[in-house]
Amino acid sequence: MPAFTVLNPATEEPVAEVEQTSAEETDAAIARAVAAQAAWRMVAPGERAALLRAFADVVGAHIGELAELETAGSGHPAGQARWEAGNVRDVLRYYAAAPERLCGKQIPVPGGLNVTFHEPIGVVGVIVPWNFPMPILGWGVAPALAAGNPVLAKPAERTPLTAVRIGELALEAGLPEGVFQVLPGKGSVVGQRLIDHPDVRKIVFTGSSEVGREIMAGCARQVKRVTMELGGKSANIVFADADLERAAATAPVAAFDNAGQDCCARSRILVQREVYGRFLELLEPAVKAVAVGDPAREDTEMGPLISAEHRAKVASYVPDGAPVAFRGSAPDGAGYWYPPTVLAPVRLDDPAYVEEVFGPVVAVVPFEDEAQAVAMANDTPYGLSGSVWTRDVGRAIRVARAVETGNLSVNSHSSVRYWTPFGGFKQSGLGRELGPDALDAFTETKNVFIATDQ
Ligand code: NDP
């Protein structure tokens, strides 16, 4: 199979050549996973826990190396990349505790009792996008392994380096052969095979809603289990009574984290009309202060976009004559740079307001009252994330309940933690990842009746 050349998005220079897995090699990997399955599910819970802890420790001992790979291959700022590698370690550690708590129920029934078991589903395919190659890998892989399933992970073609290394670290930590395999390659080849192959019993897909729809249809042919984490167009709702300074100071992180290539990006800022002007005044210096540049530097906050094609797509949302209120900076020269960009005022049918840009472009629009804010926030096919800024506790709860999204924050820009459930409403996804109940998605409940009558 041909190799893919991973480019450094900050320099456009080659970083590594990665062999693409073929359909035949994918089938062979699936066969190895099936062969590993019987032994893995029978590993005693405490032993499986110990192996996952060892895996977490080995990842933890390679944070610097993994972060450097991510900075070179994906353009993530060094500090962010270290956080992401640490997130893989922490997620593995969190789910290492799960095998020993995978308890069923006993239910009294006439003539006996029923007991329930949480059985592993079987081979799980985890399909990962390019924007957060490490955390999204960990969020699917760790609970799937903890539940006793072998896992095949397909990183995005462009960003395979850290996943491949994490696969090697799993073996170093002592995970049995075939239990966790990483298959770099194309979605249309490796991903499609995972969907079509009957021995793969579940797909965990994170990516665009467009590809997600195809994958769901593919899985439907075999009634294959599927979890989907898809796109977003989240609203950051700022009421007039909010701490405007904090809301404005954190809005750039909420919108431009990972150069806006973030499914949870709060890319629409809705501001109550009476403070709209003041909010923009506060937002401007915060946006201009975002340190955009060489991701290998410790003080860099925002790196480049992933590719030239993606930059062209992002730029298409800001054509000549677009209502650019102000912008941050970006380096010239090599690299897929795009400056943090604020559009205001924006028409509500402007594609930059309606569609997922997946880049550092945010639209700021005014609203009149609570009802209109909720209606505007919900006027999208997506429903992944969002924030509410207000000092009125009742309103905070009311609005958080009324906004149709899976993950909200009140007076904070962040809502994703591995110990709380994560997932979307509407076209942002199906099912939940993370949190204390994450193993439910990787097990089947079996119900057994035991007669006690003579
Ligand atoms: P894509 O949907 O293009 O790709 C995601 C993954 O699916 C890649 O590994 C890709 O492979 C693979 N793939 C593509 N086609 C197929 C196919 N026919 N069968 C199986 N697999 C396939 O998304 P992007 O990588 O462009 O990621 C960006 C999108 O992901 C955004 O919409 C973003 O919102 C969303 N996302 C959602 C998150 C969430 O948790 N809700 C989190 C992060 C991102 P390859 O590209 O290598 O060919």
Residues 325-361 pLDDT 10s: 999 999 999 999 999 999 999 999 999 999 999 999 9
Full-model pTM = 0.97
The mean pLDDT of 180-202, rounded to a whole number, is 98
Residues with CB under 6 A from ligand 1: 127-132, 136, 154, 156-157, 186-188, 191-192, 195, 206-208, 211, 214-215, 229-232, 263, 356, 358, 384, 424, 428-429
CA distances from 428 to 27, 137, 276 (A): 30, 18, 28
**What spatial distance separates the first Cα and last Cα of the chain, rounded to whole Å?**
64
Q: Whose CA is nearest to atom 22 of ligand 1?
A: 187
At 247, give phi and psi (nearest 5°). -60, -45
Mutate to test the pocket of ligand 1, among 152, 208, 257 (most ligand atoms within 8 A of CB): 208
The H or E element that residue 295 is part of is: none
Q: Is the pLDDT of residue 123 over 90?
A: yes
Separation CA 163–CA 268 (nearest Å)? 32
Could you read off the pLDDT of 22-52 as tens digits, one per residue?
999 999 999 999 999 999 999 999 999 999 9
Could you read off the pLDDT of 281-315 as tens digits, one per residue?
999 999 999 999 999 999 999 999 999 999 999 99
Contact residues for 363 (Cβ-Cβ < 8 A; gap 6+): 267, 268, 269, 342, 343, 344, 346, 350, 352, 353
What pLDDT score does 1 carry? 67
Mutate to test the pocket of ligand 1, among 87, 263, 415 (most ligand atoms within 8 A of CB): 263
User: Which of ligand 1's atoms lies nearest the C-alpha of 191?
Assistant: 20
Could you read off the pLDDT of 349-393 as tens digits, one per residue?
999 999 999 999 999 999 999 999 999 999 999 999 999 999 999
The mean pLDDT of 406-412, rounded to a whole number, is 97
Q: Is the pLDDT of residue 173 over 90?
A: yes
The H or E element that residue 90 is part of is: helix 78-96
* Residue 397 banded pLDDT, cuts 50, 70, 90: very high
Separation CA 261–CA 215 (nearest Å)? 22
Q: Is the pLDDT of residue 160 over 70?
A: yes
User: One-letter amino acid identity for 340?
Assistant: P
CA of 75 to the centre of ligand 1 (A): 18
* Residue 2 banded pLDDT, cuts 50, 70, 90: confident
Separation CA 72–CA 11 (nearest Å)? 9
